[in-house]
Amino acid sequence: MKRSWPLWVLLLLPFAACGNNQASPQSQQDTVVMRDNVFDQDVYVVDVGTTVTFVNEGRNIHNAVDSGGAWSTETSFGQLAMNAGDSTEITFTEAGEYLFVCTFHSANGTGMVATLIVQEPGAETPVDAIAPVATDQSAAASGITRNVPADYPTIQSAVDAAGPGDLILIAPGTYREEVAVTTENLVIRGEDRNTTVIDGEQVRSNGILITADGVAVENLTVINPVGNGVFWTGVTGFRGSYLTTIYAGNYGIYAFDSSDGLIEYSLGSGAPDSGFYVGQCDPCNAIVTNVVAEYNGMGYSGTNASTEMYLINSVWRHNGAGLVPNTLDGEELAPFHDITIVGNLIHDNSRTDVPFKNATWPSFGNGIIMAGGNTSLVERNRIVNHLGNGIVISPNLDKRFWFSGGNIIRDNVVEGSGRADLALAGLADGGNCFEGNTHATSLPVGLELSQSCEGFRLPMLYELAGTLEPLGRVAQNGTGSRPNAPVGSTPPPDPQEQMPGGAGAVVRPAVDVFASYPLDLQSLTVPELPDGVTVTQKKGITVFGLSLAMGAWSIFFGLWAYLMPFMLFAALLAIGLWDLARSEERSKGATIGWILVQLLIPFVGVLAYFLFGSSLPKWKRYSIALGGLGSYLVLIGIGALVGGIV
């Protein structure tokens, strides 16, 4: 789609590293790139003497550890961890073949793993370095129950002894271990959701890490993992039912690079990223339903999750932000598209006393953010009490600038928004539409009239402050001045509902989960407000769309980026018209022509005049035209550097 952009946008784009929304392959084998949660290649081949650079381009902590113990990346986190953006170098002086893993995102040689082959110069590169392992997935339960601790002292020992289709049944108690699951089709079940507890003690990476297909986890609690509560990665078939995760250091319930899944009747609380996450899948064929997310940085975050991805019939409350499906370069399958958000209650997601990560803070104060995605549906939700926006469609800035287009916002009830109930932030692709929503305010004003889903539509109408304001919070991250509540400081949840049938429920491995789920969107209606929840947030004061309640950094960054181009334009236009008025050297026609160029082609016309038409000395007109432009670039550049954008 062809775009016509004002000059200030063209100035911003170099800092946005704008691309064509296509990922470029990693070709240098002496660089190992860590993403969330994969290495960029399965096999790396280098010559003896090569220095290999390991770099973390994901948002989460990662590492690279040789399975034989010969080498590892440096320590920086109290464990073998590299934070986002970290890099380290290792020089390999001896030939060999090394299977290496990220210890946070792998188990028993599966998950986030790769092979490094160090060979003598000129040696022939092996073709079949890693042979795929064939699996035979069966939906049938085996009928075997392995009781913990009656038969096995730990959950891990029971999992290790189990065969496909077995039930691991865990008695009430606190289990201080990390469970790694590599056997397919297991069902791991607690006898009591609230008293069967896996405790990571803030020293172990995950509560349960699953790298096998078809594994279901039910009716238990995970508390205090450094990383994630229950984590499926690289699987087909997953199910989490009646789970509680509390104080995870990253995500509560987390499915990555996985499809055919269901997360239901679960609670995620106190995570600095999000209580629930489904990411890097297309098609996802996944459903998140009847869950509660509270006191997290975000209720839901789904990066690059697309197609048959449903977030329905759930409660998202008291988080920093509510639902934030998003597009980022650090994971594959960008941009996200075709997700469905229907029948949710989303309220009071503007907490500053919850833990945040740098990546979650920019979303603060919003109910639903559709950040850099396309052709998705937001319908029949109730969104109440947000300091920022109730629902906002916005671009997303990572290494590239990701636009949003073709999204449908329809039949929602949005109340109590400090900035706007509905917002369309630019730059935006076409096709975003708003229809039938109960709301009081929108940015731009009259959004449902100008961007309706049927009938009259104005081309490319959006507002800019909704994009600039979060960039101020990105810059704030770089100063260390954002809220920083520690993990574990938020209120613990109340006891949660038990799984029907408890220990004696039917054993159902997670096979053909999506196809067998009775998905009925038409039965979902706008939820009612529960007792005790009222509309309390008032419309705040905004200046050019920037909310004064969102913090000094957002105001400073937003106002300068928003207003300075217009100030420059006004000043340059005044000087240009004065120069034309005093000049007696050009014809009447040329004078009128340059006046029209400056007035009718905003920004570009006046720059063109000073560069090519002015009678001033060359040094003076170039200084006028490029001096203001340069100062603007410097300002935006400083903000981008402070915020870690470039």
- The 10s digit of each residue's pLDDT in 152-208 is 999 999 999 999 999 999 999 999 999 999 999 999 999 999 999 999 999 999 999
CA 275 centroid distance within chain: 12
Peptide bond into 14 cis (omega under 30): no
Phi, psi dihedrals of residue 498, rounded to the nearest 5°: -80, 155
**Which amino acid belongs to residue 615?**
S
7-119: CATH, from 2.40.50.100, 3.40.50.410, 2.60.40.10, 2.60.40.420: 2.60.40.420
Q: What is the pLDDT of residue 484?
A: 87
Are 614 and 621 within 8 A, CB to CB?
yes
Q: From residue 160, give the alpha-carbon distance in Å to each of 163, 180, 186.
A: 8, 9, 11
Q: What is the pLDDT of residue 107?
A: 61
Helix-helix angle 552-582:618-642, to 10 degrees: 170
- Cα radius of gyration (the chain): 27
Q: How many helices (H) and strands (E) does the chain have?
A: 9, 43
Q: CA 265, CA 244: separation in Å to the nearest integer?
A: 9
Q: What is the pLDDT of residue 29?
A: 65
Q: Which residue carries 């597009």 as its tokens?
A: 327
- For the chain, which residues score pLDDT lower than 50? 1-28, 76-78, 127-138, 639-646
Q: Which residue carries 């056997």 as its tokens?
A: 183
Q: CA 276, CA 303: separation in Å to the nearest integer?
A: 12
Q: What is the pLDDT of residue 126?
A: 53
Q: What is the pLDDT of residue 441?
A: 92
